């Protein structure tokens, strides 16, 4: 059973009036690094701040870690006159992006050229500790559930001042990278290692860390990293998603999950990015479209045996809500940009 997990949250720094990205991450990191448990780091662009929790074993630990950092970030943002937003994309555009310092980012930007300016995106990454010999089994078992997780976490409806019509425009953006989406089904750990080795050096895949699959295995630690989710408005949503993902990893040995390569999972990802929970999702059990409510019920049935009491309550609350961050952002923006900015501020450090 997987007993440990960690969460990485990416935040976008936005102009308080226009909600366009601002390149203030270095100031934020200098102010916040070392003031809270976990790690504060730069991301690809200087409009992005990343926070990684310590290794957690319980949901309360994760909530305390995320809220502690989010409070610090919110205070810094208020003093700096910017908005720190848990969103997958910014509502307004920025003409030119500025990359963070470092040879790695410089090389990546040179390789992807114009994609650099469009990489104003924020994700939620969940790392789950699992025995090394079980990691590939977990990756295989997660494949069909990744579109469901994307639909549930969809929180990026806007781009360049317009509503895209998608619940996760971040997911659509990400499709343009060298690797993206559902990883192949692997026979074993050696098969995974060989596949990664064949990809390194092709396009923007400079090393194993540059893989953009929605699930990847750490080259250093015995962990599975799930990268499919949009950044979340609030800490409670981030932790509920992390608990669901940990339970899906724990359920990897359960029967009933096909590992076939001949399944429509990448198309299902696109469908989830477009519609979120507003209509249908591909059911991992049947590989056919079904009402989103039915698929969420199947997700709960899958993870419930691997949740404790408080985790069950948090997951149930999220699944019963059936209202994505994208829907909340749209509702706020109907009242103007200022209302959307206020949504970002209020949800940043709101307790569950």
88 vs 10: CA distance, rounded Å = 8
pLDDT over 80 at 213, yes or no? yes
Every domain of the chain and the residues it spans: 5-348
Please give the average per-residue pLDDT across 190-218, as a whole number. Answer: 92
185 vs 206: CA distance, rounded Å = 22
pLDDT over 90 at 285, yes or no? yes
Q: pLDDT digit string (tens) for 103-145? A: 777 777 777 777 777 788 999 999 999 988 789 999 999 999 9
pLDDT of the residue at 259? 52
288 vs 264: CA distance, rounded Å = 9
Confidence of residue 261 (pLDDT cuts 50, 70, 90): low
Please give the average per-residue pLDDT across 276-288, as a whole number. Answer: 96
pLDDT over 70 at 19, yes or no? yes
**32, 193, 203, 311 from 269: Cα distances, Å:** 35, 25, 22, 26
The set of residues, in sequence order, having a beta carbon less than 8 Å from that of 193 and lying 6+ positions away, is: none
E-assigned strand segments in the chain:
5-15, 39-42, 48-52, 82-85, 123-129, 158-159, 162-163, 215-217, 223-230, 280-282, 289-291
Residues 61, 116 contacting (CB under 8 angstroms): no
For domain 5-348, which CATH number applies: 3.30.590.20, 3.40.50.2300, 3.20.20.150, 3.40.50.720? 3.30.590.20
The set of residues, in sequence order, having a beta carbon less than 8 Å from that of 116 and lying 6+ positions away, is: 44, 45, 97, 99, 109
E-assigned strand segments in 82-168:
82-85, 123-129, 158-159, 162-163
Helices (H) and strands (E) in the chain, counts: 13, 11
Farthest-apart Cα atoms in the chain, separation: 54
Q: pLDDT digit string (tens) for 193-205? A: 999 999 999 988 8
pLDDT of the residue at 258? 47
Per the listing, tokens 């997987």 go with: 2
pLDDT over 70 at 246, yes or no? yes
299 vs 315: CA distance, rounded Å = 10
**101, 122, 213, 258, 308 from 85: Cα distances, Å:** 22, 9, 24, 37, 30
Q: Tell how far CA 292 is from the center of its chain.
A: 20
72 vs 48: CA distance, rounded Å = 16
Confidence of residue 256 (pLDDT cuts 50, 70, 90): very low
Which tops the pLDDT comparison, 34 or 239? 239
DSSP assigned state of 53: P
Burial class (CB in 10 A: 0-12, 13-18, 19+), 316: middle
Confidence of residue 77 (pLDDT cuts 50, 70, 90): very high
Residues paired with 70 in a beta bridge: none
């Amino acid at each position: 059973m997987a007993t440990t997990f960690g969460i990485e949250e990416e935040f976008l720094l936005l102009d308080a009036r226009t909600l366009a990205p601002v390149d203030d991450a270095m100031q934020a990191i200098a102010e916040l690094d070392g003031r809270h448990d976990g790690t504060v780091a730069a991301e690809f662009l200087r409009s992005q701040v990343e926070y990684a929790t310590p290794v957690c074993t319980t949901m309360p630990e994760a909530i305390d870690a995320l809220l502690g950092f989010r409070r610090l970030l919110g205070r810094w943002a208020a003093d700096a006159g910017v908005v720190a937003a848990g969103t997958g994309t910014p509502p307004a555009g920025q003409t030119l992006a500025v990359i963070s310092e470092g040879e790695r980012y410089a090389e990546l930007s040179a390789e992807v050229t114009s994609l650099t300016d469009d990489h104003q995106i924020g994700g939620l990454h969940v790392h789950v500790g699992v025995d090394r010999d079980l990691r590939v089994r977990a990756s295989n078992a997660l494949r069909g559930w990744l579109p469901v997780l994307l639909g549930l976490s969809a929180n990026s409806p806007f781009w360049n001042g317009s509503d895209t019509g998608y619940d996760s425009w971040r997911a659509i953006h990400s499709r343009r990278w060298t690797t993206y989406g559902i990883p192949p089904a692997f026979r074993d750990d050696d098969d995974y290692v060989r596949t990664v080795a064949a990809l390194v050096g092709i396009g923007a895949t400079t090393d194993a860390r540059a893989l953009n699959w929605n699930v990847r295995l750490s080259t250093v630690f015995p962990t599975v990293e799930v990268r499919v989710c949009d950044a979340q408005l609030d800490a409670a949503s981030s932790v509920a998603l992390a608990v669901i993902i940990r339970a899906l990893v724990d359920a990897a040995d359960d029967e009933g999950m096909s590992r076939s390569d001949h399944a429509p999972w990448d198309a299902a990802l696109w469908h989830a990015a477009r519609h979120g929970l507003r209509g249908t999702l591909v059911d991992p059990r049947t590989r056919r479209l079904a009402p989103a409510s039915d698929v969420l019920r199947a997700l709960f049935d899958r993870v419930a045996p691997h949740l404790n009491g408080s985790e069950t309550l948090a997951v149930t609350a999220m699944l019963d809500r059936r209202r994505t961050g994208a829907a909340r952002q749209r509702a706020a923006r109907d009242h103007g940009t200022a209302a959307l900015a206020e949504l970002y501020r209020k949800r940043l450090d709101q307790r569950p």
